[in-house]
Amino acid sequence: MAKVLVSDPIDQVGIDILSQVAQVDVKTGLPPEELVKIIPEYDAMMLRSGTRVTKEIIAAGTQLKIIGRAGVGVDNIDVPAATRQGIVVVNSPEGNTIAAAEHALAMMLSLSRHIPEANQSVKNNKWERKRFIGAEIYKKTLGVVGLGKIGSHVANVAKSMGMKLLAYDPFISKERADQLGCTLVDLDLLFAESDYITLHIPKTPETTHLINKEALGKMKPTARIINCARGGTIDEDALAEAIAEGKIAGAALDVFEEEPLGESKLRNYDNIILTPHLGASTAEAQVNVAVDVAEQIRDVLLGLPARSA
């Protein structure tokens, strides 16, 4: 019988699907050296963002036929190394779209209404109504960077809440942006005009530190930035400096250059909200991605064709 290693927490529904055709071992949180040792006995791997599938793990995975990423980004898998070895890499491109978009929207509203600090204040037995005067998002301008699946849903909801929409995405047509009620602009204009900026881009050489000191310098002092996409698209040192100097009004981050977040200046400011990569963490999304990816792994183990990431 084929053997599947599940190396990050995955919804039980995915494990049940895989168990129809394989022996499934759930071993989460293993250090890389342990993974290298045990991987030779497995035909497939299923993971989220917690496991880094390095070229060493892939080289040791001599039986591996498929690696399934229960989520969108496959940036924690060395895809070229897997491809060279004939291992298919699959993902779930749509299973967590709504969850990630809703997290970005929740971050935007939390920033505007100081919800994390107000919650803490009441729990500390205070009643500080004057301290937490917020800002409305109605009639404010939202700059969406990356108008793909998640960015589009954020744009749709934001439009219905009365926001004006700007977008920057070099791969999206004007017709698509028009359909979403977004005006496509260049990045400089988006930075200069937006009250809120939300990132929905992959991490690529072009997007690494897209938000750097220079970009932050072009934003309004009242601007707030949200990143529920990928760590490394914002230069975290430059962001902490911009917040410290009042160059922008706030930031909400779900993703970081290093995860878990180590020592970081980002923790020092009330107007920076931090969550531990929770964008996809809804019950619904975890079922969606688990089913999506488990079915693809099952099919490959049965000798059927795969849809690669």
Q: Cα separation of 168 and 247, whole Å?
A: 22
114 is a catalytic site residue: no
Q: Cα separation of 151 and 138, whole Å?
A: 18
Residue 256 lies near ligand NAD (rule: CB under 6 A) = no
Residue 146 lies near ligand MLT (rule: CB under 6 A) = no
Q: CA distances (Å), 67 to each of 10, 17, 39, 78, 309, in order?
A: 14, 16, 12, 10, 10
Residue with the shortest CB distance to ligand NAD: 148
| Interface with ligand NAD in residues 144-203 (CB under 6 A) | 145-151, 168-172, 200-202
Per CB under 6 A, which region of 51-59, 66-74, 131-139, 170-178 contacts ligand MLT? 66-74
Phi then psi dihedrals of residue 102, to 5 deg: -65, -35
Residues 6+ apart with CB under 8 A from 159: 165, 180, 181
Query: Which pair of structure tokens corresponds to residue 253?
Result: 């981050």
The residue among 64 and 177 lying less far from ligand NAD, judged by its C-beta, is 177
52 is a catalytic site residue: no
Residue 72 lies near ligand MLT (rule: CB under 6 A) = yes
153 is a catalytic site residue: no
Residue 49 lies near ligand MLT (rule: CB under 6 A) = yes
- Which is catalytic among the residues 128, 245, 258, 259? 259
| Interface with ligand NAD in residues 269-288 (CB under 6 A) | 277, 279-280
The residue among 96 and 286 lying less far from ligand NAD, judged by its C-beta, is 96
| Interface with ligand NAD in residues 55-114 (CB under 6 A) | 72-73, 96-97, 100
Residue 71 lies near ligand MLT (rule: CB under 6 A) = yes
Query: Is residue 6 within 8 Å of residue 286, measured between CB atoms?
Result: no
Residue 289 lies near ligand NAD (rule: CB under 6 A) = no
- CA nearest to 53, candidates 70, 74, 28, 27: 74
| Residue 48 site contact among ligand NAD, ligand MLT, none (CB < 5 to 8 Å, cut-off depends on kind) | ligand MLT
Bond preceding residue 260 cis, omega within 30 of 0: yes
Any bridge partners for residue 226, and if so which?
Answer: 198, 252
Catalytic positions, written as ranges: 230, 259, 277
